Amino acid sequence: MGDSKIQTYIKGLGFCGFGAGANTAEVDVKDGKVLRIRPMRYDKKYTKEELNAWKLEAKGKTFHVPMKSQIPPLSLVYKKRVYSPNRILYPMKREDWDPNGERNPQNRGKSKFVRITWDEATDIIASEIRRIEKEYGLNSILVQGDGHGETKIIHASHGCAMNLFDILGGCTYQTRQPDSWEGWYWGAKHMWGCDPVGQGDIGNMLHGIANYTKMLLMWGCDMETTTWGWGGQLASNYCFWLTELGIKQVYICPDVNYGNAVHADKWIPVYPNTDSALQLAIMYTWLQEDTYDKDFIATHTVGFDIFKDYVLGKEDGIPKTPKWAEPICGVPSRTIKALARKWAKEATTIAHCNGGSYIRSTYSHEPARLEVACLAMQGLGKPGRNQFKFIEWGTYGLPSANPAPRPLGRTFIDKAFRGFHFHPLESFIPKTLVPKAILGDYTEDNPLTWYGYTLAGMPREDQFIQYQYPVPGSKEIHMIWTDTPCWTTCWNGGNSMIEALRSEKIETVIAQHPWLENDCLMADILLPINTKFEEEDIGNDMYSGCFNLVMHEEQCIEPLGESVSDYEAVGLVAKKLGVYEEYTQGKSIEDWIKIGFECTDAKNFISYDKFKENKYFAIPIAEGWEDDPIGFEEFYKDPEKHPLNSPTGKIEFYSEELATHFPDDKERGPYPKFIPYGESHQESRLHPRSEKYPYLIVSNHPRWRVHANLDDVSWLREIPTCKVTGPDGYQYEPVWINPKDAAKLGVKDGDVVKIYNDRGWVLGGVLVTERIMPEVILQDHGARIDPIEPGISDRSGANNLICPTNTTSKNAAGEVTSGYLVNVEKVDVFELAKQYPEAFKRQYEKGIGVSQKNRFKL
């Protein structure tokens, strides 16, 4: 601040990655160390008039765009991440892995690491690449280069290695499916198009909801939590304003999530992943009471009659009445009818915020499609009747994804982005199928097959194309290079991934990461990566909803230890392979920053020199944004002139495409249904498996992490809902248990329980709370794994290790990571310590978690 010895820098502290920034902060540095992190002021260098600072007006009240960036607490504490004792500071090699001798793959996750030099590390990696290329071909190298985390442009956290392998001639790359909005991608797209995301048009809806909506259904949605990673707290402020405007916020979810806790006018608890039954009963009520928009159905949709017959029970003999739905979803039938009537009467919008059991459980395409059906029956796009989302505002640069007043230009810095690229490669494996691919005995003649490139953002038609692994002419995977070492704690069935990483077939595992966590434990070589504070870069803020920014992110501090950026680490390998010039295209960081600036619309307003002097530029807001269409307004008004990008241009209750391509698919038929279980999954309370595993687990996007990020921040771990300290002093991941179940299970606050099913077990620290409905437990995902027996059990509570390995449904390669069956049982941690002495004796740093010292010989 005023101290002359303090230097102030601007950094984007969002966690989206993929070159899409948010959470702009000011970083004060003194004596070469980060002193503090605080919100930045948009009007630091530009006046409100220059910015054309926006305001919303409704019902005589005004909402002003904040002039202070709305950063979340997760960005605020980032200093702890930079200086974490868990940083990897030197290149490391697994001590019993010898590339010229015994590789001991079975010891991955068990054996320790020894320090090596950068020169040794890059020699080994370069020679391993050449060896694999010669023995099997480059397609036998799997590159895992996607993911969230620090958002950097030139020094991109994820995917820099993809650029190297493009130069070398290819690799197999892991394609990341839309993990936080599976159902929209695999389901809703087949009803209303809405490529590339599958979610609705939310254009100008901050203005639209405030003025026209009466009831906002927060369905499986926590707008106070998921927003934090990339977006910050504008949504929180906005919801407080909606309350002032008298707009009712009804939360439909199994838990009192953090949005529900402070903003809800009503909570309707629903069993995880039974929303389809609730939706069908609502539509049944509308059909019975004749309270749906028949004109809209006639002019804006196709295939309604067959769907209507299903709802009324003419197809399967089961009318989907509220009484039918009540025991399935746990909502009293009278409440279902009351909700249906209020919805029909009052302008209602449904809001989401990614994650949770609603959109990433088994068959998530069904609730997604049934929601589109509900929206259609009440006239989608009518004033106040739309679908909304509190996160990823402006994603893919789409106006239809930006609900805030429209800026006069874009800030996406694609031309300087050196990470993950979106162009398809010939050889790839969907991220959800990686363990299956490795553990199966697949050949080009007996391949693993699936539908779709699966990359988030691919068009609907791609879901009808069959792909295979290995591709013709290729062999199996024998080497993995990951800069995204969090598969185990973030994807579908991490225990199977641990098994895959320890497979004999995998000869080499390279991981590059700033911290020793998760999949890093199973690596053979670890490369030390620095944080964005340690590098100069260009950055943007395109998700916060306040202003779109381009910023010059100067270097704040010197790199810690021998760490380098991801871009530089791959560059060091490229040097050894003799392709450094191609890799950097002969450009310096300064060159890339300039290229980056020139590809944003900031160049239309300000010179490059002035930009560097001011350190940031905020794109002004357009005049007349108030008149921009709201959500599906144009489609509603004129579906012929403004068709959807579905095959017919209308909402398709019956999808001819699905009927044609997958005529025998009982799990995702041509029109949406209630599918409790089937060939791929038996995770429903209606299935006999529930006798053995009676609880459904809610595994939300974590409150105090962004997926796997930030699990080692002592300041967060002091927060009561972040960790529960067990009787042995270990900080366990909380498990929410309703008092009724706690009595049945004989557990109290602070007890440790085992959460288990046939895929393994993880531990958790009990919080007895009314924030979760009975017969359901909640444990956030993404705890830093701390294996008890690798591939079987885990102390940290990384419950993705035991979630289903099968994909969303037979022909939909998404993940199922919430809303599955488990049982819960109290454990004695001291007894466990006797049983598993090695795991329980690991050195533990209070506030940080399990210590790096257990693994590193420095």
Partner 1 sequence: MKVFVIDVARCNGCYGCQLACKDEHVGNDWMPYAKPQPDTGHFWMKLLEKTHGQVPKVKLEYTPYPCMHCDDAPCLEKSDAFYKREDGLVILDPVKAEGQKDLVEACPYGTVYWNEELNIAQKCTGCAHLIEEGHLPRCVDFCATGALRFGEEEEFAEEIARAEVMKPELGTRPRVYYLNLPKLFLGGEVWDPDIDEIIEGAKLTLTGTDGFQMVTESDDFGDFWFRKLNAGSYTLKVEAEGYQPVIKEGINVDKSLNIGDIPLTKIK
Binding residues (CB under 8 A) for partner 1: these are 1-2, 35-39, 66, 68, 70-73, 76-77, 79, 224, 232-234, 236-237, 240, 256, 258, 261-262, 264, 266-269, 323, 333-335, 337-339, 341-342, 714-721, 738, 769-771, 773-774, 846-847
Q: Report the nearest approach of partner 1 to the CB of residue 720 (Å).
A: 7
Contacts for 340 with CB less than 8 Å, ≥ 6 apart: 281, 282, 285, 286, 289, 291, 322
Q: Which is nearer to partner 1, 262 or 465 (CB)?
A: 262
DSSP 429-477: EEGGGHHHHHHS---SSS-EEEES---TT--GGGGG-EEEESPTT----
The rounded distance, in Å, linking the Cα atoms of 342 and 345 is 5
The rounded distance, in Å, linking the Cα atoms of 563 and 351 is 42
Q: Report the nearest approach of partner 1 to the CB of residue 396 (Å).
A: 26
Bridge-based pairing state of the strands 387-389 and 428-430: unpaired
The rounded distance, in Å, linking the Cα atoms of 62 and 517 is 46
Determine whether 449 is exposed, middle or buried from the number of CB atoms within 10 Å of its CB (0-12, 13-18, 19+): exposed
Q: Which is nearer to partner 1, 10 or 425 (CB)?
A: 10
Outline where 541-678 has alpha helix (H): 566-576, 580-584, 589-598, 608-614, 633-637, 656-661
The rounded distance, in Å, linking the Cα atoms of 29 and 31 is 7
Q: Report the nearest approach of partner 1 to the CB of residue 748 (Å).
A: 15
Q: Which is nearer to partner 1, 83 or 464 (CB)?
A: 83
Q: Which is nearer to partner 1, 716 or 839 (CB)?
A: 716
Q: How many Cα atoms within 13 Å fall on the side-chain side of residue 552?
A: 20
Determine whether 707 is exposed, middle or buried from the number of CB atoms within 10 Å of its CB (0-12, 13-18, 19+): buried
Q: Which is nearer to partner 1, 207 or 703 (CB)?
A: 703
* Alpha-carbon distance values, 127 to 98, 104, 121, 132 (Å): 13, 19, 10, 9
Q: Report the nearest approach of partner 1 to the CB of residue 719 (Å).
A: 6
Q: Which is nearer to partner 1, 36 or 575 (CB)?
A: 36
Q: Which is nearer to partner 1, 79 or 152 (CB)?
A: 79
The rounded distance, in Å, linking the Cα atoms of 537 and 551 is 9
Q: Report the nearest approach of partner 1 to the CB of residue 385 (Å).
A: 18
- Which is nearest to 132 in space by CA: 172, 180, 89? 172
3-state SS, residue 369: helix
Q: Which is nearer to partner 1, 365 or 685 (CB)?
A: 685
Sign of the CA dihedral 51, 52, 58, 59? positive
Q: Report the nearest approach of partner 1 to the CB of residue 239 (Å).
A: 9
Preceding amide of 470 cis, omega within 30:
yes
3-state SS, residue 735: strand
Question: CA geometry: angle at 214 spanning 213 and 220, to 5°?
Answer: 85
Q: Which is nearer to partner 1, 244 or 691 (CB)?
A: 244
Instruction: Give the amino acid at 238.
Output: Y
Q: Which is nearer to partner 1, 319 or 847 (CB)?
A: 847
Q: Which is nearer to partner 1, 55 or 610 (CB)?
A: 55
